[in-house]
C-alpha cells in the first residue's frame, strides 16, 4: 500500500480480537518508532510494552472507564517521555517528537494489518506509579494495538478549503 492510501485507511480502532500480537510485529512497530525524527536527534522516547495480563492490568488501572476496551488489545504500548533527553522541556517541544514517533507507530500498525488507537484518557500519576517509572520518565500516550475485531467507524474529514487559513 502506498503512503497516501495508508494515511487514508488508518482510523482509530477500539474493538480488538484479544489474540496475542506476534513479537516480530511488535518489533516492527518499535523499529518504526525508533527511526522517528526528533529535534536535535534527542530521541526523547522510551516504551513500556504490556503483553502479559499482569502488565496490561497495570496500564488498565490508570485508564479512564471509557477506555476499558483497550484491555482486549494484543499489546499495549506506553510511550514515555525521557525528560533527560527532552528538547526545550520548558516549552514542552519534546511532545512534538513524541507525536512524530506516535504517528510512525500508528501507520506501521495499519501497514502490517493491525489496528491501533492513541489514548490520552488515563491518569498519568497513577500509570507512572504502577509502572514504577524513575523520575526522568513520564507517561504521555497509551497505544493499544491488535487485530481488529471489526472495521472502525470512518469519520468525515474537513475539506482543504476548511483547514487553510487565508488572511483577507
Domain boundaries, the chain: 3-149
What's the rounded Cα separation, in Å, for the pair 50 and 42?
Answer: 25
Cα separation, 43 vs 66, in Å, equals: 31
Q: pLDDT digits over 50-90, tens only?
A: 999 999 999 999 999 999 999 999 999 999 999 999 888 78
Average pLDDT of the chain? Answer: 93
H and E: helices and strands count for the chain: 6, 5
* Tens digit of each residue's pLDDT (9 = 90 or more) over 149-160: 977 778 888 888
The full length of the chain comes to 168
Q: What is this structure's pTM?
A: 0.93
The class level of CATH for 3-149 reads alpha beta
| 157/163 Cα distance (integer angstroms) | 10
How buried is 53 (Cβ within 10 angstroms: 0-12 exposed, 13-18 middle, 19+ buried)? exposed
pLDDT band per the 50, 70, 90 thresholds, residue 168: low
Alpha-carbon dihedral sign for residues 130, 131, 134, 135: negative
Amino acid at each position: 500500500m502506498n503512503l497516501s492510501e495508508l494515511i487514508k485507511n488508518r482510523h482509530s480502532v477500539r474493538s480488538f480480537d484479544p489474540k496475542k500480537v506476534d513479537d516480530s510485529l511488535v518489533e516492527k512497530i518499535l523499529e518504526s518508532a525508533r527511526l522517528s525524527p526528533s529535534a536535535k536527534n534527542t530521541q526523547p522516547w522510551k516504551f513500556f510494552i504490556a503483553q502479559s495480563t499482569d502488565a496490561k492490568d497495570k496500564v488498565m488501572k490508570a485508564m479512564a472507564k471509557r477506555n476499558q476496551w483497550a484491555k482486549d488489545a494484543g499489546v499495549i504500548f506506553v510511550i514515555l517521555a525521557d525528560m533527560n533527553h527532552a528538547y526545550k522541556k520548558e516549552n514542552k517541544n519534546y511532545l512534538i517528537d513524541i507525536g512524530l514517533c506516535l504517528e510512525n507507530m500508528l501507520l506501521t500498525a495499519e501497514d502490517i494489518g493491525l489496528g491501533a488507537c492513541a489514548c490520552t484518557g488515563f491518569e498519568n500519576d497513577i500509570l507512572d506509579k504502577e509502572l514504577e517509572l524513575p523520575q526522568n520518565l513520564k507517561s504521555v500516550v497509551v497505544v493499544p494495538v491488535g487485530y481488529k475485531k471489526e472495521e472502525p467507524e470512518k469519520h468525515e474529514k474537513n475539506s482543504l478549503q476548511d483547514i487553510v487559513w487565508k488572511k483577507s
